[in-house]
Chains A and B, each alone.
Chain A
């Protein structure tokens, strides 16, 4: 257990620079109209942030520092702004700042000719600011603030090419789906607020001396604890694209590719996982079970959907969904450390893969359909650096030995197996699905990645060749990122992860810590699954074997896969359409009934239009109408005594008198 040390601002000022510098870059880019300068400045800032981050990591690694100051006070409750600098956030900062820097460099080339380059780099700055905010924030409220801001900057970046049809829709969808998640996050926060009266993470951890079980003095019931956990998880589901909220992520590929690399592969989507790791002690067992099954399901669904995508980026997007599912599942099974480890390794190789895809697209951007894999082929000769980086990253993703993915996947799988062993003592139930999905996904990951690999880089070019070399701005970032997927970065032994990354958490997994399964055997099993996957794809897509079989499968499941399990349709039927209908009903109701309370009376009344003519003949309206109709009619009644015949007046008057006399008795 590492003691959290409350420190003074003087010790932390450097840390403040990390979010503030990108914000500065954002402001500079907004207010200076020189877009080239903005791009340059942004890159310089990214570099500076990276170096600051390195400096911070070096100077603070190993300790846990906490700084907090009041933001605003309502009643007696103070909302704080604070920084929590422990190993987790330090590593995360390192990862984010590095990838951000590399993506920035990559973007210099990628976005070179874009008119709105300044805007692009300013958004990147905004995003970085928000992301660092999430990472560094010491309390859940502040986390939520940046959480939403990340969503916002993601909205901006996805919709960057707003003149086109797709990006605005995709960004709209991304934000709304994220909002649904955020709604859950908010509810979780409310429960935290009501029962713990604090959002501070160190405080909250203290209240949970045992994982998932708060101290009795809190007085929170199991039900509310679960609501809290599920709420927070719903937030993570939105950001980390977990079932059933994963639909936005593939669409988000409408944004510029470097953005996909940074945001939709490495950082933002990982924020959900990061947050779950942060609040892991607060999650009770039922919540974790839900998390595990959702994660496993997502991992499987994503992998399945990745199969029949033709768009190079969509494959990677679904792959991301799948891998995020992995991480979430890992948290659910009680191995947050493994999840975080996978987050880091995945961040590097997936960013690299996206940048490779970006490089491919950039290379082919004069083509008609530059993202369609079936129109590529043979690219290995034309963009060799990309090919190399892609190969490395892909192998890492597949989880083959000598690459980082092997470690992290192995850690997760072992966690899953431990969990299933531990929790299936009372008989095996649905929980068995979790390891099942986990292992199938290993195979599938390798298979769809192989498909992409062979379709893109092998075979005959289906595009018109041109002389164009990879720019160093492209090559260096992808190679650097790819190189971070080698085993030696993490561990000396290529087969056994003995890395500090698995030690960074203050807490270990909640489930037993001894290895029930020999890591070597597990590694062999998973590697063979991956190799099998690669082999199958080699046969199918390189050797073009068993095409008949492939077509059959495609016929059978292609639709399901290509449409991501028809999730969009399901959402549309279950949510979008009802809401759209509801709004029409309610609006109709508003117009007709609330506003036109009296329409019914009005229709019955032949003289309605004549009566209403006084103000406006054609008003279709409301309570006013009620009053006008009623009072108008009554008015006519009142006037009808006045028919101008004096003797009728007598009758009315006497009648009035008689009535009063009758009342008198």
Chain B
């Protein structure tokens, strides 16, 4: 027993040695708890205080991200901390921060402590997801994100919110059930819960492939990629706009990172190609469904939901490519994507503040308020992927990576992905342009000038500016990611 105790102690030391590396996560948890307690203690409407506290904890988490040594395997190798997870954690915190400074609505979410608490937990889940290397941790992270999301969807406390909440929940539960089933099979087939061990082994037999795919299904659910995309429009339409902004960025990108790891861990080339092929067809279908579905939408958020389905298709190109170039590009794309989505949802929030919900309500707004008009154009052009915006650089880099992989591998589905992906840019123009079209070409029906504060304008201008900078000096960001030659080195 003594020996055992000693081994156990060592084990415990090893495990808890990793705690220090979880400082950012701890900051998030403490932020969540502090605000929750504050909510219980303070009864007054103190949304500014709560928001301020959130921002402080975000800042703390952000700071601690830079403090902790961010590399290696943690907690008995259930977590990977590397630059990849680091980058995405930064993106998550940034998104969180922006969502905290969204224009205040009539139904102000930020006065509820639970709102802060839930977003903290959601971000925590995302943090864990980008680091997870173990199926169990991944499952729990996913559920953490999911359960927070279900509640956040309903946080508007209106009819549609609850409807969307239950739909999201049931669909999510089904998806995670299916994924679990796949996980259980994987466990049986490889004898481990460690992702690397599972995927780097020999893979033979149908069941193995089925299991891998069922695992991927759960990821696709968060990524809102076909066929697990169906919940997206309903949820985006019903949830409050700042929540949607978070939804459209954080869970999606977290899932993307996990998917990237999953695919890159697969050591059997033929299996990897098969999985990649499946994903690339799904990506193509997603682009089409997303873009075509968006065309006739009139609700701005619902349209953006379809847009995010389409963008999921673009994002997974980074997974499909499986090269350094692709990884750098997909990071670039993710940053630009977050910026664009935050910008658009910020804009939508500004409009909702003035009771403008439908795209047709936006008539003439851009004409009256040029900042809104210009930033609308910038965002939409960027979402479409046209120069001179970051959206173009991002798509351009991603497709360059795709082409270069195609050149070396000569896999024909990559070419189709390449072509269909670019064709989709044209389809996308139809609906993206609808917003500036309405707001600039049409004349206003309501006579009152929408109330857009200076702060709103500054934020919009800033985001637009960043998007433009990411075109004109794309290397500022791209070169930052250049040192990330890590992911492939971690493979045995």
Contacts and interface: CB of A to CB of B under 8 A. Distances in A.
A646 B166 contact: yes
Nearest to B297: A639
Contact of A664 (B166, B209, B234, B427): B209
Given A638-B292, A664-B209, A652 B227 contact: yes
A623 to B, nearest CB: 11
Interface residues of A, number: 28
A661 interface: yes
Contacts of A652: 227, 230
Contacts of A632: 295-296
Interface string A613-645: 010000000000001100110111111011010
Please indicate which of the listed interface residues B175, B274, B292 has the most CB atoms of chain A within 10 Å of its own CB: B292
A646 B293 contact: no
A664 B278 contact: yes
Q: Which of A614, A634, A638, A650 has the most CB of B within 10 A?
A: A638
Given A632-B295, A656-B228, A661-B213, 19 more contacts: A631-B291, A632-B296, A635-B294, A638-B288, A638-B289, A641-B289, A642-B234, A644-B234, A646-B170, A646-B171, A649-B167, A649-B231, A650-B174, A652-B230, A653-B175, A653-B227, A660-B278, A660-B282, A664-B213
Nearest to B175: A653
Is the contact region of chain B dominated by helix, strand, or loop, or is it mixed? helix
Contacts of A71: none
B337 to A, nearest CB: 21
A653 B167 CA distance: 13
A634 B293 CA distance: 8
Contacts of B174: 650, 653
Given A642-B293, A656-B226, A657-B217, A663 B278 contact: yes
Interface of A: 614, 627-628, 631-632, 634-639, 641-642, 644, 646, 649-650, 652-653, 655-657, 659-661, 663-665
Which 8 A-B residue pairs are closest in the complex by CB-CB distance? Answer: A656-B227, A638-B293, A635-B292, A649-B230, A635-B295, A638-B292, A646-B167, A638-B289
Given A635-B295, A638-B288, A655 B210 contact: no
Interface residues on B, range: 35 or more
Interface in B246-283: 274, 278, 281-282
Contacts of A641: 230, 289
A642 B233 contact: yes
Contacts of B178: 657
Interface in B150-185: 166-167, 170-171, 174-175, 178
B6 interface: no
Contacts of A637: 292
B230 A653 contact: yes
B430 interface: yes
Contacts of B296: 614, 632, 635-636, 639
11 contacts: A631-B291, A635-B296, A639-B293, A646-B166, A649-B167, A653-B171, A653-B227, A656-B226, A657-B227, A660-B227, A664-B278
B5 interface: no
B206 interface: yes
Given A644-B234, A655-B227, A664-B209, A649 B171 contact: yes
A639 B290 CA distance: 9
B231 to A, nearest CB: 7
Contacts of A638: 288-290, 292-293, 306
A637 B178 CA distance: 26
Interface string B198-223: 00000000100110011001000000
Nearest to B278: A660
Nearest to A663: B278
Interface in B335-351: none
Contact of B274 (A631, A636, A664): A664
Interface string B284-306: 00001111111110000000001
Contacts of B278: 660, 663-664
A614 B442 CA distance: 13
Interface string B2-41: 0000000000000000000000000000000000000000
Nearest to A659: B227
Nearest to B305: A642
Contacts of A635: 292-296
A174 B105 CA distance: 76
Contacts of B171: 646, 649-650, 653
Contacts of B293: 635, 638-639, 642
A627 B288 CA distance: 13
A234 to B, nearest CB: 49
Given A636-B296, A649-B171, A657-B178, A631 B427 contact: yes
A661 B210 contact: yes
A437 B266 CA distance: 96
